[in-house]
Amino acid sequence: MIKFKNVTKKFKNSTVLSDISFEIEKGQLVAIIGGSGCGKTTTLKMINKLIKMTSGQIYINGQDINDKDVIELRRNIGYVIQQTGLFPHMTIKENIELISKIKKEDTKKITQRTYELMDMVGLDSEKFLNRYPTELSGGQQQRVGVARAFATDPDIILMDEPFSALDPITRNGLQDELINLQSKMKKTIVFVTHDMDEAVKLADKICIMHKGKIVQYDTPENILKNPINEFVSEFVGRKRIWGSPEFIKAEDIMIENPVTCQSNLSLFKCIEKMRSSKVDTLMVVEDKSKKLEGIIKAKDIRLSSDKTTEVNNIINKEFLYANPKDTLIDILNMINDNDISNVPVLNEEGVLVGLITKSSLVTTLSDPYIKEDV
């Protein structure tokens, strides 16, 4: 959808962007983030030619933007900025409909679209359309700015720190609104922010910039789990992953080689295996496939008078399990709702690939704090 190829920008003797290349797929929300002066806003403004590149190419749907008329280009790209950019002498209705009227679209369709957009951003048309921007709160003005960006139904929307000047509650509400809008509209959105929490919450992919270069471009999950270098690790925050538990998966926290046995093992040998391995539970697996057949616990063995009997006579074949991609939240809910202490982790074929226990969860959850204290 949008492709940067070896783009460089220089202002006099200062290099703002240095040979950056990356692609934004259609329908994705990509957050560009970095410290002040890193080049993130310059990168955004090059897409609609508010800033011209010194060298390189930017393509939209395979077409070099240098070959496109700048006015036509901008009319087909929505743009939302921090200060909303609303014209103070125009009503809310006039602000939203401005570009559509310039393009001489059908009047009835424009009006219908305006009402739909107001509803989409959660504003009462009858109450607000004939007001002026100064009569609205900052959050309400920003909602109008978003509505105006969507007015011509553009494929691309650029958002330059649109919520940064708002109070935390209003900002959080508008972030939620944007998530809902994007789930319905599937626009290609480029969102500049300096707030990592905002980027993680909103983005499909995050582009981290530093000194005019792209340091890491990946999904929020991969950036949180696998920062590419020390700069990204420090910028993201070493414990930020714990603020996004939906990104922590069973495969990240499971014991990878749980203690197992076969169903034909005697209970006496099970006890010995538990003692030597210092566990109170064994995962019973098939010999060759390693598929999980069931679970046997020390307390079940103690209740059996005949310790020579085989595991398959008392094995518990009804058990809850997790998938490697299940989140930490899923695991905690499963343990709390069912009062269980062990959750085997199985792949799609039912093969045992790991185990999560209450004690391993406590260790995992306390690990970042223990490391900080050391």
Q: DSSP letters of 6-21?
A: EEEEEETTEEEEEEEE
Question: Stretch 214-227: mean pLDDT, rounded?
Answer: 90
Task: State if pTM tops 0.85.
Answer: no
10 Å Cβ neighbour count for 85? 16
Q: What is the DSSP string of 165-178?
A: TS-HHHHHHHHHHH
Tell me, which fold does domain 251-368 have in CATH?
CBS-domain (3.10.580)
Question: Stretch 219-224: mean pLDDT, rounded?
Answer: 88
Q: CA dist 325 to 16, 222, 255, 331, Å?
A: 40, 14, 14, 11
On average, the pLDDT of the chain sits at 88
The sheet carrying 260-261 orders its strands as 260-261, 281-285, 292-297
Query: What angle, rounded to 10 degrees, do the helices at 107-120 and 138-150 form?
Result: 130
- The band of 373, judged by pLDDT with boundaries at 50, 70 and 90, is very low
Tens of pLDDT, residue by residue over 228-277, are 998 888 888 766 666 677 788 888 889 988 999 999 999 999 999 999 98
Give the span between the Cα atoms of 245 and 314, in whole angstroms.
Answer: 37
Q: CA dist 239 to 200, 228, 231, 248, 363, Å?
A: 14, 16, 14, 12, 15
In the chain, DSSP finds a helix count (H) and a strand count (E) of 15, 15
Tens of pLDDT, residue by residue over 322-339, are 999 998 888 888 888 898
Q: Kindly state the percentage of the chain with pLDDT values over 70.
A: 95
- Domain locations along the chain: 2-246, 251-368
Has residue 310 got a pLDDT over 50?
A: yes
* Residue of 50, 56, 90, 45 whose CA lies nearest to 70: 50
- The band of 292, judged by pLDDT with boundaries at 50, 70 and 90, is very high
- Which CATH number describes the domain made up of 2-246? 3.40.50.300
Has residue 69 got a pLDDT over 70?
A: yes
Q: CA dist 56 to 73, 123, 160, Å?
A: 18, 42, 22
- The band of 369, judged by pLDDT with boundaries at 50, 70 and 90, is very low
